[in-house]
């Protein structure tokens, strides 16, 4: 295509490097340096989308990230489709596919446009008033229709093949925005040698200087000054300049988040990440975020071809594109005059309509007329003509009271409108700085800072170029502790405007459709309706009408909405208030925020030294806390049930080997170690002999069980504490908290040794025989090394703390060895056990074997509401101890009251039926709903050694119900059970002492 | 009160919608009320509404320091469900859910209660056991909740990844079909309109600065930024600010106020048919009527009244969302915000009397109060009207922290929200 | 994310720390002597101030030490941090 609207010269584009992309399947040709918006305009394409609610034709309003209307889906290949991209932000490149949104069957002919005819019904909040009858229609008819109509683009359907990166950075000075103020700030800071990060959302730093073709700075063309500034920043090692990087969130204590877009603009991204999250902790922040132009609110101000005035100027000067050949500028201020002059200079037919009276205007008026441009002062815009493209503007003289004179039609194919300027105070507001209303520029501007931060330039309401430069320089110098200030000379900037809320009109109000929020289709009338219905806080108006809640978050609409509300309430802007600015400044992909934190990197995976052996021996794994634990070791063709039955039998009849390395381990050392243990556990510790073990139970201060585990006294001043797998960190933190803050006088040191000791559990009648040849320095005989003893010695020549303990009820050892040697020891023990049929087993078998013995698992039998007495362990409480953590709570009224749930065993009438864990228990299954529940099943298994199913449960007053019948829920109904003692196997406990 | 209906909407559309009146008045405070409700959120407004409609008490003021519905009511992710474990909680939330089911008609205000189903995902064997415990308990309490295999989860929620490459693969889920979402603002506005129409004064921009007590210690009224207001009874429903308000009557509360964050994506065409919650990986997600993905994040670890939390809380939540729904990495976060949630030691609410005569409190809803709004207002209105708790809120006393009769759903199941 | 000055290590990001709630609540010397009300008060009642708050932090992923801080819960600004067992130099009664 010939790009009929491309100017023959000018702009920061490279006409020798064409790019081709598609828009709705049609090939569009642009040039290097184009945005998708500028390339579309170069080809005369203005209709680029349909609006959210009324499906009105919409075009390109802006050149920047404030664009509310021109939203496109962008297709970068399989899995790389994403919706709602602003055409003004997407850089044109070869091979890009872009699609307009929210229409059917096509952009040109959209059935949804019927909504526009029904717009008198679809006013603000209409949905709160209807769709209530008949009631059942809501789910089936109304809501699906509403939902189908809502939303803009389509969500990506396939997983995203791109990757995302994350980086933390520190600097003394972070400058946000590389326009004149930001560049001056960065230069001033950089010259002090401080570390500076300068971030700008655009592909090219420079901000307004990129389209400043007539202004001069320090006697040089602005573009030359810009080149010089960038060259200097680039040459300094202490400066990181980040283009395409949006500072989107300003958090506590100068934590600022930036989103850098790395590859979307590249035809061949290679292996680089698509985007990167920068989390910057800055000593000082300079916000030079610029300002946004306000649209004018008049009838049909949303027609394609109607742009912001400054955006017209940007397309002309920066992209070398004429958005039309016959342009009418409509304004209430001076800045549009500059745009009009530039348009005239580009050879276009230009006229200008100014709401301000002749005497309100400044020198710009004379200048424009001198250039031969027709200027109608004291004129309002009654409305726009045209449908899918503006064809003319109806204007009329209007006095200050809003009375309109004779209409006149100004034919045109483009309108540049300007209702003044709004400083971009978003980040300042996010930093919790207090905004103040500045009447002279009709804007909220940064007031008192809450953090180490300064605003400069247009973000602060300073629009004159020389003043912006000076303010930026001062901010950058102050932020880096320098007293030096520079002076700048620059061409004067045309500033000043008359605040206008909705343009005066004499049209029938019923026929006026003057848009305030272009994307959400909110009109001035909608805002009036909300106020009439009693919504007076701007937050209420926003929520009721949805103004400012679209993807642009109201960058172009908020001040107009606020002004209209203030007008309706006959009050001032500050008394209506401003809505709170929330992160992000512009939308940020989830991918940027997530970075690489997926799958294996979502959470660390902890594995034991024996993990690879288990994997190579066919283990199936389960996730327990962060650990991967071997769940069971199926042989070919075995199910979980088969494998567990085999493993269970093997342990009780021969010997099994189990990786218990995930157990938490804490070394408690010091002269007061026993006293410390005494205060933390319910058990007594002072008299525990060296070389002996004790099962310890620990409570939270509220009296509920926190954790359990075997503890060995290694020396008078040293305890080897074990914890549950999931509880290790929690228990250590709990111990440290009490030690440091409650009992700092105790001489105790705590060290986590979970990673240092691997634990190999060897369980079964043959266990002693297996390790006997491998152990050195320890007498393994039952007399010398009884159950619940611990000895230090060697195994396979490796130092070990050998525990004679059992979580299975069998003769058992837990071999603690340094992790580096664990695999070798494991393999040696396994080899030594082969003559005895040694069987590796996993956590499932461990669970079954301990349930056969009625041993509890914290987190399964207990749930954070269970006391020692509830699980039948109150006998472990050291009676002589005056106090321990949690003791006082055990005598609270409800904790000693009757009816608490107690641990019992359950056997089903049908021995083959395995109850579901979590199943509820009742005494009478025939009672009406809601039923009185007595408790629930905490553990339930097929017990190969008992030859039947077994279960443990917490049941109200359960210990008194021994021998009685209860009923347990099953998927089909109820099963009858008998309450029994929870020890199902070897109740006398003989085997453990073998 | 002008009735809302399709016909009134159509007739107004022919008249430029000039005929709609205010949805609620903007009255000056009277010197005295039978009941003063402190806090104009959903719970406070519902309390006033049911005081008027159920108990005939209309000389009521709702005092709101900002704008109604501006606290947690307008900041939450609108998840509504009742599949709680303990009888006490189940009764309370099921009471609310039943009210939700007729609320649009009751209020003549479309609160868009959408029973899209809430699916809670199990990622480990402990989750499975815990969810079955809930399902069976719910069944015996007459509350729907069912177990889905992971394949059924995927069928119910097609964007869900049930593959094994997840760090914590999905093992299955518990689904409450009657659960869902609603339009949060509409709940506040609908109750406000209904209460106002029955004579309740809704007074915005009116902060309570003190609670006046007589010689016997009984509360007699509230000092406000708009003067003293005498009150027969005072109901404090101030969510995150409860500690501060109760301190005015020298009542110290077992509460801590934390920032809770949430976010929405840009709006997209319907892609997400239900609500999915995963406590194991900390993800809560649904899609609103407007097309935004609504995502709940967690609380920060420190107390704060700033309505702003750390970015790491947000990113952690999105890690989980993108882990479960890998196609959403290209979606964009549009807006994030924070609320202030008041959390009790057992994470269940406190609804009832205080040690001060005539002073009642409804607080401690933590991260999950929105779903209870109608039920909470209903039982609290009963408590304020009669001076005694409704059977449903009777267990939710302040005294339970003394006796130890806690209602700790989270300890029982590691379930928040 | 907060920036927290560990008294032992200096400024570090919040993610290295664990917050331990209200500070200066000493465990009673003889809990058994307390009434149920007093014990419940100790366990559960918290100042939860809107304003300056004395709170406990642990530099869990650093030196591992517990310390105290004064922070304004409205602005989240730290007034000071100080070692466990010490008293703050600012008053904690501000707006409490």
Query: Residue A657: beta bridge partners?
Result: A762, A840
Beta carbons of A992 and A985 less than 8 angstroms apart: no
Q: Which of B343, B368, B386 is the last residue before a domain boundary?
A: B343
**What residues of C are in contact with residue B254 (Cβ under 8 Å)?**
40, 44-46
* Start-to-end CA span in chain B (Å): 35
Q: Which of A556, A588, A620 is the last residue before a domain boundary?
A: A588
The answer to whether residues B173 and B264 belong to one domain is: yes
DSSP E strand boundaries for C39-77: 52-58, 66-72
Residue from the list C37, C41, C73 with its beta carbon closest to the beta carbon of B305 = C73
Q: Cα–Cα distance between A372 and A379 in angstroms, integer?
A: 19
B306 to C45: CB separation less than 8 angstroms, yes or no: no
The answer to whether residues B190 and B101 belong to one domain is: yes
The answer to whether residues A77 and A196 belong to one domain is: no
C19 to B310: CB separation less than 8 angstroms, yes or no: no
Q: Which of B343, B360, B380 is the last residue before a domain boundary?
A: B343
Q: What is the pLDDT of residues B317-343, one digit of tens each?
A: 999 999 999 999 999 999 999 999 999
Chain B interface residues (partner C, CB cutoff 8 A): 241, 243-244, 252-257, 301-306, 308, 310-312, 342, 344-345, 401-403
Beta carbons of A868 and A902 less than 8 angstroms apart: no
Helix (H) / strand (E) element for A371: namely none
Taken in order A241, A242, A244, A250, is the CA torsion positive or negative? negative
The answer to whether residue B20 is domain-embedded is: no
The answer to whether residues B275 and B374 belong to one domain is: no
The answer to whether residues A320 and A437 belong to one domain is: no
Which residue of A253, A519, A594 to mutate against B (max B Cβ within 10 Å)?
A: A594
Q: Cα–Cα distance between A341 and A337 in angstroms, integer?
A: 6
Helix (H) / strand (E) element for A628: namely strand A627-632
C47 to B252: CB separation less than 8 angstroms, yes or no: yes
The answer to whether residue B302 is domain-embedded is: yes
How many domains are contained in chain B?
A: 2
- Residues in chain A, pLDDT under 70: 1
Q: What is the DSSP string of A130-156?
A: SS-SSTTHIIIIIHHHHHHHS-SBPPP
How many domains are contained in chain A?
A: 6
Helix, strand, coil distribution of chain A in percent, nearest 5: 25, 30, 45
Q: Cα–Cα distance between B168 and A602 in angstroms, integer?
A: 9
The answer to whether residues B268 and B334 belong to one domain is: yes
Beta carbons of A682 and A886 less than 8 angstroms apart: yes
B401 to C49: CB separation less than 8 angstroms, yes or no: no
Give CA angle at A869 (A868, A870), nearest 5°: 90
Beta carbons of A829 and A760 less than 8 angstroms apart: yes
- Contact with chain C for residue A251, Cβ under 8 A: yes
The answer to whether residues B169 and B192 belong to one domain is: no
For residue B408, give both structure tokens.
């700790």
Q: What is the CATH number of the domain that holds A114?
A: 3.10.20.440
The answer to whether residues A311 and A268 belong to one domain is: no
Residues 6 or more apart from B39 whose CB is under 8 A from it? B62, B63, B64, B71, B236, B237, B238, B239, B241, B245
Helix (H, G, I), strand (E, B) or coil at A561: helix
Residues 6 or more apart from A647 whose CB is under 8 A from it? A632, A633, A656, A839, A840, A841, A842, A844, A845
Smallest Cα distance from A474 to chain B, Å: 30
Q: What is the CATH number of the domain that holds B172?
A: 3.30.9.10
At the topology level, CATH places domain C1-24+39-96 in Folate-binding fold (3.30.2270)
Beta carbons of A760 and A822 less than 8 angstroms apart: yes
The answer to whether residues A376 and A459 belong to one domain is: no
Q: What is the CATH number of the domain that holds A704?
A: 3.30.70.1400
- Residues in chain C, pLDDT under 70: 92-96
Helix (H) / strand (E) element for A251: namely strand A245-251
pTM greater than the 0.95 cutoff: yes
Give CA angle at B397 (B396, B399), nearest 5°: 140
Residue from the list C32, C64, C66 with its beta carbon closest to the beta carbon of A883 = C32
Chains in contact with B, counting 3 or more C-beta pairs less than 8 Å apart as contact:
A, C
CA–CA distances in Å: residue A512 to residues A298, A332, A484: 8, 20, 55
Q: What is the CATH number of the domain that holds B222?
A: 3.50.50.60
The answer to whether residues B35 and B175 belong to one domain is: no
B332 to A587: CB separation less than 8 angstroms, yes or no: yes
Say which DSSP state B23 is in: S
pLDDT at B417: 33
A931 to B141: CB separation less than 8 angstroms, yes or no: yes
Residue from the list C3, C31, C58 with its beta carbon closest to the beta carbon of A883 = C31
Q: How confident is the model at residue B416 (pLDDT cuts 50, 70, 90)?
A: very low
For residue A24, give both structure tokens.
């709705």
- Per-position b or e across B182-213, b if 16+ CB within 10 A of its CB: bbbbbbbbbbbbbbbbbebbbbbebbbeebbb
Smallest Cα distance from B213 to chain A, Å: 32
The answer to whether residues B232 and B170 belong to one domain is: no
The answer to whether residue B9 is domain-embedded is: no
Q: Cα–Cα distance between A878 and A698 in angstroms, integer?
A: 12
**Interface size, chain B vs chain C, as Cβ–Cβ contacts under 8 Å:** 68
Q: Cα–Cα distance between B182 and B99 in angstroms, integer?
A: 13
The answer to whether residues B288 and B339 belong to one domain is: yes
The answer to whether residues A533 and A474 belong to one domain is: no
Residue from the list B5, B330, B402 with its beta carbon closest to the beta carbon of A589 = B330
Q: Are strands A948-956 and A935-943 parallel, antiparallel or unpaired?
A: antiparallel
Helix (H, G, I), strand (E, B) or coil at A102: coil
pLDDT at C93: 58
Of A559, A529, A389, A526, the closest CA to residue A53 belongs to A526
Beta carbons of A263 and A244 less than 8 angstroms apart: no
**What residues of B are in contact with residue A892 (Cβ under 8 Å)?**
402-404
Chains in contact with C, counting 3 or more C-beta pairs less than 8 Å apart as contact:
A, B
B306 to C74: CB separation less than 8 angstroms, yes or no: yes
A918 to B129: CB separation less than 8 angstroms, yes or no: yes
Q: Cα–Cα distance between B111 and A127 in angstroms, integer?
A: 9
The answer to whether residues B331 and B359 belong to one domain is: no
Helix (H) / strand (E) element for B363: namely strand B359-363
The answer to whether residues A410 and A306 belong to one domain is: yes
Q: Which pairs with CB-CB distance under 8 Å and at least 24 residues apart come from B296-299?
A: B296/B76, B296/B77, B296/B79, B296/B260, B296/B262, B296/B367, B296/B417, B297/B260, B297/B261, B297/B262, B297/B263, B297/B336, B298/B260, B298/B261, B298/B416, B299/B258, B299/B259, B299/B260, B299/B261, B299/B341, B299/B343, B299/B367
Which residue of B129, B162, B282 to mutate against A (max A Cβ within 10 Å)?
A: B129
The answer to whether residues A500 and A523 belong to one domain is: no
Domain segments of chain C as ranges = 1-24+39-96
Q: Which domain holds residue A346?
A: 295-419+494-506
Q: Cα–Cα distance between A966 and A975 in angstroms, integer?
A: 8
Q: Cα–Cα distance between A281 and A276 in angstroms, integer?
A: 16
For residue A846, give both structure tokens.
């461990």
Q: What ipTM was reported for this prediction?
A: 0.97
The answer to whether residues B99 and B119 belong to one domain is: no
Mapped to the 3 state alphabet, what secondary structure does A2-33 carry?
A: CCCCECCCCCCCEEEEEEEEEECCEEEEEEEC
The answer to whether residues A93 and A221 belong to one domain is: no
Beta carbons of A699 and A785 less than 8 angstroms apart: no
Beta carbons of A617 and A636 less than 8 angstroms apart: no
Q: Which of A731, A753, A775 is the last residue before a domain boundary?
A: A753
Of C80, B235, B266, B241, the closest CA to residue A553 belongs to B266
- Contact with chain B for residue A157, Cβ under 8 A: yes
A894 to B403: CB separation less than 8 angstroms, yes or no: yes
Query: Residue A209: beta bridge partners?
Result: none
The answer to whether residue A849 is domain-embedded is: no
Residues 6 or more apart from A215 whose CB is under 8 A from it? A221, A222, A465, A490, A491, A493
| CB-based burial label for C22 (10 Å; 0-12, 13-18, 19+) | middle
pLDDT at C94: 45
Which ranges constitute the DSSP H helices of B149-211?
A: 150-156, 184-197
Q: Which domain holds residue B189?
A: 31-82+84-105+184-255+346-403
The answer to whether residue B56 is domain-embedded is: yes
Say which DSSP state A742 is in: I
Backbone angles phi, psi at A846, to 5 degrees: -55, -45
- Per-position b or e across A270-309, b if 16+ CB within 10 A of its CB: eeebbbbbbbbbbbbbbbbbbbbbbbbbbbbbbbbbbbbb
Q: Which of B320, B343, B366 is the last residue before a domain boundary?
A: B343
A892 to C39: CB separation less than 8 angstroms, yes or no: yes
Q: Which of A700, A722, A753 is the last residue before a domain boundary?
A: A753
């Amino acid at each position: 295509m010939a790009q009929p609207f491309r100017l023959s010269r000018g702009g920061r584009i490279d006409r020798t490097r064409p790019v081709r992309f598609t828009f709705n399947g049609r090939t569009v040709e642009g040039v290097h340096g184009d945005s998708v918006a500028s390339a579309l305009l170069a080809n005369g394409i203005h209709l680029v989308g349909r609006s959210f609610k009324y499906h009105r034709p919409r075009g390109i309003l802006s050149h920047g990230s404030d664009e509310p209307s021109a939203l496109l889906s962008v297709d970068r290949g399989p899995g790389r489709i994403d919706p709602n991209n602003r055409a003004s932000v997407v850089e044109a490149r070869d091979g890009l596919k872009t699609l307009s949104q929210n229409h059917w069957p096509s952009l040109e002919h959209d059935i949804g446009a019927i909504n526009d005819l029904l717009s008198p019904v679809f006013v603000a909040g209409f949905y709160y008033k209807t769709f209530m009858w008949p009631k059942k229609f809501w789910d089936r008819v109304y809501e699906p229709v509403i939902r189908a109509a809502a939303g803009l683009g389509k969500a990506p359907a396939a997983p995203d093949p791109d990757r995302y990166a994350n980086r933390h950075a520190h600097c003394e000075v972070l400058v946000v925005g590389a326009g004149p103020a930001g560049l001056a700030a960065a230069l001033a800071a950089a010259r002090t040698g401080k570390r500076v990060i300068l971030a700008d959302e655009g592909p090219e730093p420079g901000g307004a200087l990129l389209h400043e073709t007539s202004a001069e700075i320090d006697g040089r063309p602005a573009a030359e000054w810009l080149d010089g500034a960038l060259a200097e920043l680039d040459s300094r090692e202490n400066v990181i300049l980040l283009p395409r990087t949006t500072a989107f969130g300003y958090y506590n204590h100068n934590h600022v988040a930036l989103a850098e877009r790395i590859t979307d603009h590249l035809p061949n991204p290679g292996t680089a990440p698509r985007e990167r999250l920068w989390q910057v902790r800055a000593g000082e922040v300079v916000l030079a975020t610029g300002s946004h132009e306000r649209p004018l609110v008049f009838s049909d101000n949303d027609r394609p071809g109607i742009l912001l005035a400054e955006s017209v100027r940007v397309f002309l000067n920066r992209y070398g594109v004429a958005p039309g050949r016959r342009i009418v500028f409509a304004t209430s201020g001076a800045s549009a005059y500059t745009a009009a002059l530039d348009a005239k200079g580009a050879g276009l037919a230009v006229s200008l309509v100014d709401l301000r009276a002749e005497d309100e205007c400044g020198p710009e008026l004379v200048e424009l007329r001198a250039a031969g441009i027709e200027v109608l002062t004291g004129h309002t815009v009654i409305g726009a003509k045209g449908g899918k493209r503006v064809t003319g503007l109806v204007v009329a003289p209007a006095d200050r009271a809003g009375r309109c004179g004779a209409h006149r039609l100004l034919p045109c194919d483009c309108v540049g409108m300007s209702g003044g300027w709004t400083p971009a105070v978003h980040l300042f507001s996010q930093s919790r700085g207090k905004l103040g209303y500045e009447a002279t520029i009709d804007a909220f501007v940064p007031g008192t800072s809450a953090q180490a931060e300064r605003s400069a330039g247009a973000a602060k309401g300073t629009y004159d170029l020389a003043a912006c430069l000076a303010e930026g320089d001062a901010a950058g110098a102050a932020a880096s502790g320098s007293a030096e200030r520079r002076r700048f000379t620059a061409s004067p900037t045309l500033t000043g405007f008359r605040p206008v809320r909705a343009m005066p009109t004499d049209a029938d109000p019923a026929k006026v459709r003057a848009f305030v929020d272009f994307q959400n289709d909110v009109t001035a009338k909608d805002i009036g309706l909300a106020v009439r219905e009693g919504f007076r806080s701007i937050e209420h108006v926003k929520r009721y009408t949805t103004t400012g809640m679209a993807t642009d978050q109201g960058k172009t609409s908020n001040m107009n909405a606020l002004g209209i509300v203030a007008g309706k309430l006959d009050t001032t802007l500050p008394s209506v208030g401003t809505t709170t600015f929330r992160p992000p400044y512009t939308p940020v992909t989830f991918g940027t925020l997530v970075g690489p934190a997926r799958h294996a990197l979502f959470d660390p995976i902890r594995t034991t030294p024996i993990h690879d052996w288990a994997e190579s021996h066919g283990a199936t794994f389960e996730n327990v806390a962060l650990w991967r634990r071997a769940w069971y070791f199926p042989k070919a063709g075995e199910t979980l049930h088969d494998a567990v039955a085999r493993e269970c039998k093997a342990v009780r009849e021969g010997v099994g080997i189990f990786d218990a390395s995930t157990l938490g381990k804490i070394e408690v050392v010091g002269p007061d170690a026993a006293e410390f243990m005494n205060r933390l556990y319910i058990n007594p510790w002072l008299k525990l002999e060296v070389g002996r073990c004790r099962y310890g139970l620990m409570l939270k201060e509220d009296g509920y069980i926190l954790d359990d585990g075997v503890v060995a006294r290694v020396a008078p001043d040293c305890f080897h504490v074990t914890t549950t797998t999931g509880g290790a960190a929690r228990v250590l933190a709990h111990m440290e908290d009490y030690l440091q803050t409650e009992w700092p006088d105790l001489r105790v040191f705590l060290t986590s040794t979970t990673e240092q000791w691997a634990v190999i559990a060897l369980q079964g009648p043959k266990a002693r025989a297996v390790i006997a040849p491998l152990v050195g320095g320890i007498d393994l005989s039952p007399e010398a090394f009884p159950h619940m003893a611990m000895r230090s010695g060697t195994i396979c020549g490796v130092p070990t703390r050998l525990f004679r303990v059992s979580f299975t009820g069998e003769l058992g050892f837990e071999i603690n060895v340094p992790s580096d040697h664990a695999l070798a020891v494991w393999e040696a023990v396994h080899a030594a056990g082969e003559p005895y049929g040694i069987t590796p087993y996993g956590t499932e078998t461990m669970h079954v074997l301990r349930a056969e013995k009625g041993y509890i698992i914290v987190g399964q039998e207990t749930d954070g509401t269970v006391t020692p007495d509830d699980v039948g362990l109150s006998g472990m409480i050291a009676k002589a101890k005056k106090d321990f953590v949690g003791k006082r709570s055990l005598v609270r009224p409800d904790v000693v009251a009757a009816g608490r749930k107690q641990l019992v065993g359950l056997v089903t009438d049908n021995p083959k039926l395995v109850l579901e864990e979590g199943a509820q228990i009742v005494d009478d299954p025939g009672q009406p709903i809601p039923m009185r529940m007595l408790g629930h099943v905490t553990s339930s298994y097929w017990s190969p050694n008992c030859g039947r199913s077994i279960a443990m449960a917490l049941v109200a007053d359960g210990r008194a119900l021994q021998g009685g019948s209860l009923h347990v829920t099953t998927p089909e109904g109820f099963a009858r059970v008998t309450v029994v003692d929870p020890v199902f196997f070897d109740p006398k406990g003989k085997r453990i002492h073998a | 009160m002008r009735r809302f209906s399709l016909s009134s909407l159509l007739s107004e559309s022919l008249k430029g919608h000039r005929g709609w009146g205010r949805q609620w008045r903007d009255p000056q405070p009277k010197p005295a009320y039978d009941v003063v409700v402190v806090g104009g959120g959903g719970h406070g407004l519902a309390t006033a509404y049911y005081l008027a409609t159920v108990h005939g008490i209309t000389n009521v003021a709702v005092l709101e320091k900002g704008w109604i519905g501006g606290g947690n009511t307008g900041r939450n992710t609108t998840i509504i469900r009742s599949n709680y474990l303990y009888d006490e909680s189940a009764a309370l939330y099921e009471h609310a859910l039943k009210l939700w089911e007729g609320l649009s008609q009751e209020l003549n205000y479309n609160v868009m209660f959408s029973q899209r189903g809430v699916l809670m995902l199990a990622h480990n064997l402990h989750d499975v056991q815990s969810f079955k415990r809930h399902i069976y308990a719910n069944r015996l309490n007459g509350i729907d909740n069912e177990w889905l295999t992971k394949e059924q989860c995927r069928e119910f929620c097609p964007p869900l990844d049930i593959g094994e490459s997840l760090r914590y693969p999905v093992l299955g889920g518990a689904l409450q079909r009657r659960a869902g979402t609603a339009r949060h603002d509409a709940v506040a506005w609908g109750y406000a309109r209904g209460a106002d129409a029955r004579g309740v004064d809704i007074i915005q921009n009116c902060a309570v600065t003190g609670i006046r007590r007589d010689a016997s210690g009984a509360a007699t009224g509230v000092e406000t930024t708009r003067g003293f207001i005498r009150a027969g009874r005072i109901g404090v429903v101030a969510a995150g600010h409860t500690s501060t308000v109760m301190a005015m009557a020298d009542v110290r509360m077992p509460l801590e106020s934390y920032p809770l964050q949430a976010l929405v994506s840009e709006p997209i065409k319907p892609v997400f048919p239900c609500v999915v919650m995963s406590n194991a990986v900390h993800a809560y997600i649904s899609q609103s009527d407007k097309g935004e993905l609504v995502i709940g994040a967690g609380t920060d670890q420190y107390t704060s009244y700033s309505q702003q939390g750390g970015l790491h809380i947000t990113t952690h939540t999105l890690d989980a969302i993108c882990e479960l729904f890998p196609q959403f990495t290209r979606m964009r976060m549009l807006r994030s915000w924070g609320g202030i949630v008041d959390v009790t030691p057992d994470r269940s609410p406190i609804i009832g009397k205080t040690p001060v005569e005539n002073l009642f409190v409804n607080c401690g809803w933590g991260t999950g109060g929105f779903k209870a709004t109608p039920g909470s207002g209903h039982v609290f209105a009963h408590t304020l009207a009669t001076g005694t708790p409704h059977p449903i809120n009777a267990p939710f006393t302040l005294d339970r922290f003394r006796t130890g009769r806690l209602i700790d759903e989270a300890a029982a199941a590691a379930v928040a929200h | 994310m907060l920036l927290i000055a560990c008294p032992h290590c200096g400024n570090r990001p919040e993610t290295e720390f664990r917050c331990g709630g209200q500070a200066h609540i000493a465990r009673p010397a003889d809990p058994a002597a307390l009434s149920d009300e007093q014990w419940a008060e100790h366990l559960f009642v918290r100042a939860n101030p809107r304003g300056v708050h004395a709170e406990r932090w642990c530099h869990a992923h650093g030196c591992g030490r517990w310390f105290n801080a004064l922070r304004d819960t409205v602005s989240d600004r730290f007034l000071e941090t100080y070692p466990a067992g010490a008293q703050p130099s600012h008053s904690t009664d501000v707006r409490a």
